Amino acid sequence: MSKYKKSFLAVAATTSLLICGGLYASQAGGLFSDDTKLADQLGATQTSAAVQKLKANIDRALEQQEAELAEFYADYEMPAGFEHEPMETIPELQTQIEQLSALSSKEAETTPVTVETINYEEGFFKVDGIMSWQCAWMHEAVVATEKHDTKARDHAIKQLLDFKNSTDIEYFPDYDVFLQDNIKPLENNDTSNAKAFINNGFTCPESYKVK
């Protein structure tokens, strides 16, 4: 069975911010009477800038997701009872925010802060929706096959076969292999490959698993 993966990867760009309170304190002259206070303030300022950078990254990603999923919902209909679950935040970015927010003033003064931002390629979130759509219709085809409901099985299979005519097929260069390995056997009432694909824990949402 082929490994059918997303066609897009998030591209991470790394920006390093070195918080060095001592250096700034030595140049500050008489602005502050307490060097520690100055270092803490500068550390907090740098940490705050890093947090804002990450929050802005999350906002951009969620805005991109909203726009691309609007296209997805306009072009594709999920089977009854299924919904695509969009990301509410970006875990890789949110974790960094939490780690930075947990730094004490002293740690912010002396700790090098590395911020890893994520840029999603155009189409990433629409492809994510399409993959949920494919998994949902495959689930329907498997369940219908096991219930010997030929009409429902054929309807579900048709959704997946007709996707070859979509302009979005360009994102799925191995789609013919996917159909041959996982969908065609359903026409002969063989659900083993399709069920293994759905249940592999890698491609399809957990809630789509077939018992």
Q: What is the pTM of this model?
A: 0.75
pLDDT digit string, tens, across residues 42-58: 455 678 888 888 999 99
Asked which of 28-37, 101-110, 113-122, 168-177 is least confident by mean pLDDT, the reply is 28-37
Alpha helices in 76-174 (DSSP H): 91-101, 105-110, 124-146, 150-162
Q: How far apart are CA 178 and CA 199, in angstroms?
A: 15
Note the pLDDT of residue 56: 93
Check residues 91 and 40 and name the one with the higher pLDDT. Answer: 91
Asked if pLDDT for residue 24 goes beyond 60, the answer is: no
Q: What mean pLDDT is predicted for residues 144-148?
A: 96
Helix axes 91-101, 35-75, angle to 10 degrees: 160
Nearest of 123, 131, 138 to residue 4 by alpha carbon: 131
Asked which of 29-38, 73-82, 83-92, 105-114 is least confident by mean pLDDT, the reply is 29-38
